[in-house]
Amino acid sequence: MAAESSQTMTTPTDAELVQAQADLWHHCLSYLTPMALRCAVQLGIPTAIHRLGGAASLPDLVTALSLPTSKVPFVGRLLRLLAATGILASNEAGMYSLVPLSYLLVDGVRIDGDASQTAFVLTVTSRHFMEAAIGLADWFKNDIPPPVPSPFEDVHGAALFEESMAALDPECDKLFNESLAAHDHMGIGTILRECHGIFNGLQSLTDCCGGDGTTARAIVKAYPHIKCNVLDLSRVIDKAPRDGFVNYIAGDMFHSIPPAQVVMLKV
Ligand SMILES: C[S@@+](CC[C@H](N)C(=O)[O-])C[C@H]1O[C@@H](n2cnc3c(N)ncnc32)[C@H](O)[C@@H]1O
Please tell me the distance between residue 169's alpha carbon and the centre of ligand 1 in angstroms: 22
| Ligand 1 pocket mutation, candidates 233, 248, 255, 264, criterion most atoms within 8 A of CB | 233
Please tell me the distance between residue 207's alpha carbon and the centre of ligand 1 in angstroms: 9
| Shortest-distance atom of ligand 1 to CA 265 | 6
Query: Could you say which residues of the chain have pLDDT below 50?
Result: 1
Tell me the ipTM for this assembly: 0.97
- At residue 4, the pLDDT reads 54
Please tell me the distance between residue 183's alpha carbon and the centre of ligand 1 in angstroms: 12
Please tell me the distance between residue 89's alpha carbon and the centre of ligand 1 in angstroms: 35
Query: 3-state class of 208 per DSSP?
Result: strand
Contacts of residue 107, defined as CB under 8 A and 6 or more positions apart, other chains included, come to 44, 47, 116, 118
Per-residue b or e along 123-160, where b marks 16 or more CB atoms closer than 10 Å to that residue's CB: bebbebbeebeebeeebeeeeeeeeebebbbbbbebeb
Identify the residues whose C-beta falls under 6 Å from ligand 1: 180, 184, 209-211, 214-215, 231-233, 236, 252-254, 266-267
| Rounded Cα distance, 152 and 125, in Å | 13
| Ligand 1 pocket mutation, candidates 163, 180, 228, 232, criterion most atoms within 8 A of CB | 232
pTM (predicted TM-score):
0.87
| Shortest-distance atom of ligand 1 to CA 264 | 6
Write out the H or E segment, with its range, that includes residue 57.
Answer: strand 55-57
- At residue 113, the pLDDT reads 63
To 10 degrees, what angle do helices 214-222 and 170-185 make?
20
